Amino acid sequence: MATERVRRRTSPAVYRRRRLMLLLGILLVAALVAWLFIAQPWRGTAAEGTAAAPTPSATPTAQGATELPVPTDETPAAPPAPSPPPTPSSTPTASSTPSASSEASASSKPSAGPCVASEIEVVALTDKESYQAGENPQLSIQLTNRGTRDCTLNVGTTTQSFTVSSGADTWWRSTDCQTEPSDMVVLLTAGQTVASAAPLTWDRTRSTVESCQDPNRQRAPGAGSSYHVSVGIGGIPSIETKQFLLF
């Protein structure tokens, strides 16, 4: 007699549990996919890598700007003045490069022709009209293109000169002890004015080519004595001298 195998039928409750487990699994997978799509955790790693890489600074340089260089004058320190000077240095030095009062175009290959003396006005400037004991005059150059055309001019330290005199007596020249002069050809547009922003300091002593390293150079007398400064640049002298007083 054949043995009858009795199959047990799965109850409806088991089917319902299996369907519920399958549905929960599908919902869990769907939620995980949705979270990955929204959060995108891999983008945080990429952003960190990008932030860690140094980025070059974007500091644009103004096109066409012109700076007048200042002559460097190596002269000895002046002896102590009757009253302490307002600045610690009394030697004619130029530690910074001046900027133009108004932009003039600079080019290594200027397209305009050279300036002529009749087109350029050169003016001597001082920071004060009079100086008390211990104060050193600050001297500058200002030039203006009075012509109707753009032109080029060598405004380098090889072409600059400052001269301080009292009457017929010349006391100081910036070219006596100037070091490392250089050329600088710039384009001056019609009507533009360029002036030194960093002045050249006169230490109130007499200069000669032979006395550049002499710490005991003769000091200019004060007591209200009158002095004049004249300047030149690009082979063009200043129209007038600038007067100032020393006390």
Per-residue pLDDT tens over the stretch 133-149: 999 999 999 999 999 99
Q: Is 199 exposed, middle or buried (0-12, 13-18, 19+ CB in 10 A)?
A: buried
Report which of 161, 116, 162 is spatially closest to residue 138, judged by C-alpha positions. Answer: 162
**Cα–Cα distance list, 76 to 69, 204, 211, 229 (Å):** 22, 11, 9, 21
Look at the alpha carbons of 74, 205, 201, 182 in this order and tell me if their dihedral is positive or negative. negative
Fold classification of 72-246 (topology level): Immunoglobulin-like (2.60.40)
Q: Which element (helix H / strand E) includes 227?
A: strand 225-233
Rg, the chain, Cα only = 39
Report which of 94, 128, 118, 121 is spatially closest to residue 201, judged by C-alpha positions. Answer: 94
User: What length does the chain have?
Assistant: 247
pLDDT at 7: 54
The pLDDT tens digits of the residues spanning 179-194 come to 888 999 999 999 999 9
Mean pLDDT, residues 86-102 taken together: 40
Q: Which element (helix H / strand E) includes 24?
A: helix 12-39
pLDDT at 55: 38
More confident residue, 234 or 8: 234
Q: Is 118 exposed, middle or buried (0-12, 13-18, 19+ CB in 10 A)?
A: exposed
The answer, yes or no, to whether residue 94 has pLDDT greater than 50, is: no
pLDDT at 17: 76
Cα-based torsion angle of the residue sequence 143, 146, 151, 153 in order, rounded to the nearest 10 degrees: -20
Domain ranges of the chain: 14-49, 72-246
Q: Which element (helix H / strand E) includes 236?
A: strand 236-237
Report which of 206, 240, 223, 235 is spatially closest to residue 125, judged by C-alpha positions. Answer: 240
Indicate the residue type of 89.
S
Q: What is the mean pLDDT of the chain?
A: 77
User: What gap in Å lies between CA 149 and CA 110, rounded to an integer?
Assistant: 13
Q: Are strands 242-246 and 200-201 parallel, antiparallel or unpaired?
A: unpaired
Mean pLDDT, residues 8-32 taken together: 76
Indicate the residue type of 92.
P
pLDDT band at 10 (very low <50, low <70, confident <90, very high): low
